[in-house]
Amino acid sequence: MSDVVIMVEDAQMYVTAGSILGDKKVGGAKLAAENGTAAYVAKDEADAFLKVAELISYLPQNNLAAPLFAEYVPATGTVNGTDPYEVIGAVADADSFCELYADNAKCAVVGFARINGAGVGVVATNTEGGKL
């Protein structure tokens, strides 16, 4: 999660010249989210700015802030098939999970959350996701 690309629904992004391709489906925001180029697709510019503000709120004020680390260890026998969203809900503050790349790798759940008010990065394996 070193770079986070936020695109509005009608935005275009081309690796090759879009004018040559001429097909908006090739460089659209939906495709960029599905292939993992865009972390989030906003409805409009105002929604994009709100998402940026939300993401920044999870980051520490500076590099001297003490990091927070929490590890969830499921009960014996429940490792496989544990719903990562249930685990995040059990560990993180209520309604604090901000998921990124939701339209991409369904085998992983990635984003930010808060634990006791502190922002943390979340990376979880989703064995139920199906898409590898």
- What is the per-residue pLDDT for 8? 93
Q: Which pLDDT does position 132 carry in this prediction? A: 37
Spacing of C-alpha 36 from chain mean position: 10
Q: What is the mean pLDDT of residues 33-50?
A: 90
User: What's the pLDDT score for residue 99?
Assistant: 92
Q: What pLDDT, on a 0 to 100 scale, did the predictor assign at position 97?
A: 95
| pLDDT, mean of residues 21-41 | 75
Does the structure show a pLDDT above 60 at 93?
Answer: yes
Phi-psi region of 80 (alpha: psi -120 to 50; beta: other; left: phi over 0): beta
CA pair distance 109, 121, nearest whole angstrom:
11
Is residue 118 scored above 80 in pLDDT? Answer: yes
- Single pTM value for the model: 0.71
